[in-house]
Amino acid sequence: MLVTKQPVLRKFWYPAIPTTELSSSPKPFELLGEKIVIWLNAAGKPAAVQDRCCHRSAQLSIGKVVDGNICCAYHGWQFDSEGACVCVPQLKKDEVISASYKVQSYRCTERYGYVWVCLGEPLIDIPEIDEATKPDYRLLHEFYEPWKCAALRVMENEFDLAHPTFVHTTTFGSEEHPIPELMKLTETEWGLHVHGVLGVVNPELQQQNLKMEAKQTFRTLDMTWFMPFTVKLQITYPNGLTHIIINTMTPINDSTSQMVQFCVRNDTEADTKSSDVVAFDRAVTLEDKHILETTDYDVPLSVSQEQHMFTDKPGIVMRKKLAALLKAHGEVEQTKSNNC
């Protein structure tokens, strides 16, 4: 599936940029192949429009913010949050700005410390992460970086309980547990849920982070997939610690995704330093990245094109649900072969 060629994917929300990166200067971002510019308007709210001036096509993101509007660096035209041109310095005082002077604007809002953007009419809301707002949990921002792979490959990987033994060899993968003890899948309207138990190694940094001396332990996993490219991975350890990873692979274009990951935990900085939590998750994600960036970005939704085993069931359900979504919106899966 080539994500930029499936219009229905424009009807979902994606985190585009951490709110901390938005200041007085505009920031460019590419979402599903669409170049956009994001900035803070006069009310301090994020705004997103097409990163292309309607006058002579200059990139608006190299301009500046003036009175909460984005100001083009070429001739100084200004556009508001709705994309309407509100200032043309070359017009005489009594001249009215034509309504055709406008750029495409997009829905844009803040959640969990990120600016989320939807390029179309949203089919569903931003995934609800209850724990992110609970007082006994803390939210740690982890990673924001481009990965050279398809978002769907990462979604499948998160639910693939056979890969840790081979991929996470320096972190938690256990040779003694090549398959999960338990894997129970439930489909939901807009995704799926897997309840699983996996035996894992508990290396030294994790022994400190988890306050558990055992060299092996079991992770109880509650994994939720939110269509199309967000996963909530809740890990509960025998000592009661809950570590929840929220990862969205925001599709930049067909072959690249912006990895946006934060975690929510029911412990405190005094229990475990956030830098240690991030250090362990960094090592884990780099192990995944190393493999996933070697995979084909044109992930086939048809299950006949790759081979499968029982631990691939969540990925197979994802492919089927995405295929059904395309069909429901009158779309045919676009691939490299039918686009050459």
Q: Which residues bind Fe ion (CB under 5 A)?
A: 288
List the single partner that 74 binds among Fe ion, ligand FES, none, CB under 5 to 8 Å by kind.
ligand FES
By C-alpha distance, which of 87, 110, 112 is closest to 38? 110
49 and 41 in contact (C-beta within 8 Å)?
Answer: no
Our CB check for ligand FES shows the closer of 36 and 284 to be 36
* 168/20 Cα distance (integer angstroms): 31
| Residue nearest Fe ion, CB atom distance | 288
List the single partner that 58 binds among Fe ion, ligand FES, none, CB under 5 to 8 Å by kind.
ligand FES
CB of 49 to ligand FES, least distance (A): 12
Count helices and strands in the chain by DSSP H and E runs? 5, 17
By C-alpha distance, which of 152, 211, 144, 220 is closest to 180? 220
List the single partner that 53 binds among Fe ion, ligand FES, none, CB under 5 to 8 Å by kind.
ligand FES
CB of 84 to ligand FES, least distance (A): 14
CB of 70 to ligand FES, least distance (A): 10
Match 């609800």 to its residue by tokens: 128
List the single partner that 137 binds among Fe ion, ligand FES, none, CB under 5 to 8 Å by kind.
none
Our CB check for ligand FES shows the closer of 58 and 140 to be 58
* 80/65 Cα distance (integer angstroms): 10
Our CB check for ligand FES shows the closer of 72 and 231 to be 72
CB of 58 to ligand FES, least distance (A): 4
Q: CA Rg, the chain, in Å?
A: 22
By C-alpha distance, which of 228, 316, 288, 267 is closest to 12? 228
CB of 107 to ligand FES, least distance (A): 24
Q: Side chain identity at 165, as an amino acid letter? A: T
Query: Contact residues for ligand FES (CB under 6 A)?
Result: 53, 55-56, 58, 72, 74-75, 77
List the single partner that 75 binds among Fe ion, ligand FES, none, CB under 5 to 8 Å by kind.
ligand FES
Our CB check for ligand FES shows the closer of 78 and 230 to be 78
* 63/76 Cα distance (integer angstroms): 8
* 1/299 Cα distance (integer angstroms): 5
CB of 79 to ligand FES, least distance (A): 9
List the single partner that 254 binds among Fe ion, ligand FES, none, CB under 5 to 8 Å by kind.
none
Output DSSP code: residue 102: B
CB of 249 to Fe ion, least distance (A): 13
Match 């969205």 to its residue by tokens: 248
* 224/230 Cα distance (integer angstroms): 8
List the single partner that 267 binds among ligand FES, Fe ion, none, CB under 5 to 8 Å by kind.
none
Which tokens belong to 109? 């809002």
